[in-house]
Amino acid sequence: MEFTTEQLRSVAQLARLELSESDVELYSRNLTDIMGMVEQLSAADTEGVTPMAHPLDMTQRLRPDAVTESNQRETFQALAPDTEDGHYGVPRVIE
């Protein structure tokens, strides 16, 4: 299959990636190659095969519904590029 530059732009938008025009062309070619390789899967007979979501077919362990985490807001916010009064700063979203 051919991965067009339009498809690439739409995937980049879904993934929230800003790309340059030269990137768009390069990545379209790369994804054409990669998805071409992935196409081999269509030849496999998987009729009735249960999808494998976990390598050991284990289920998620349950734990008691107890509080185990303490509040570390200051520690975590110290890593943020922009905080104010305990909040994370982002550009204005409501006019």
CA distance readout (Å), 31 to 6, 17, 41, 55, 92: 12, 15, 16, 27, 35
88 membership: H or E segment, kind and range: strand 87-88
Residues at the contact surface with another protein, assessed by CB under 8 A? 7-8, 11-12, 14-19, 23, 26-27, 30-31, 33-42, 44, 46, 49-56, 58, 60-61, 63, 72, 75-76, 78-82, 88, 90-93
- Nearest-approach distance from CB 2 to another protein, in angstroms: 14
**Of residues 2 and 88, the one with the C-beta less far from another protein:** 88
